[in-house]
Amino acid sequence: MILELKQTPNPLLKKKAEEVMKVDEEIKILVKDMLETMYANQGVGLAAPQVGVSKRVVVLDVGSGPKVFINPKILKKKGKEISEEGCLSVPGVFLKLKRAKEVIVEALDEEGNKFTVEAEGLLARCLQQEVDHLNGILILDRISLLEKLKRMIFRK
């Protein structure tokens, strides 16, 4: 089922999501629905708060098939790079943001099994943005007040 995307300034997007205590049928259905919603909106990543669910669940597909991260934790960051990002909850806005070039993330899969992934490139960037969502941080929170004012004035 395609879920409704929450867009800024929805207050749920600014709240820290709750940890998943048990990967049960409800979480598995949520994952399936989130993937369907992400694909229907041509996204590459989606966090549960973006569909109105305050749970630490992320789905991604950066071109190598769907990936599920439940209770993801970034264990290590390495390097820096600047690249453009968009967000399904902030439609029409694309920002050049500095993020870690590589990350190591630990999470549970959709069966509740713990795994660790070393990611770089688009996968690393997406993981960082989606973990931000779980912590109530939007891409707009990653730019300066001056940049926000410029965008308002010049409508970029």
Q: Is 84 a catalytic residue?
A: no
- Short-list 88, 90, 12, 95, CA closest to 44: 88
User: Which token pair is 104?
Assistant: 């190591």
How far is it, in rounded angstroms, from Cα 64 to Cα 56? 22
CA dist 39 and 60 (Å) reads 10
Helix (H, G, I), strand (E, B) or coil at 83: strand
Kindly name the residue from 81, 84, 120, 130 that is annotated as catalytic: 130
86: helix, strand or coil: strand
Catalytic residues: 130
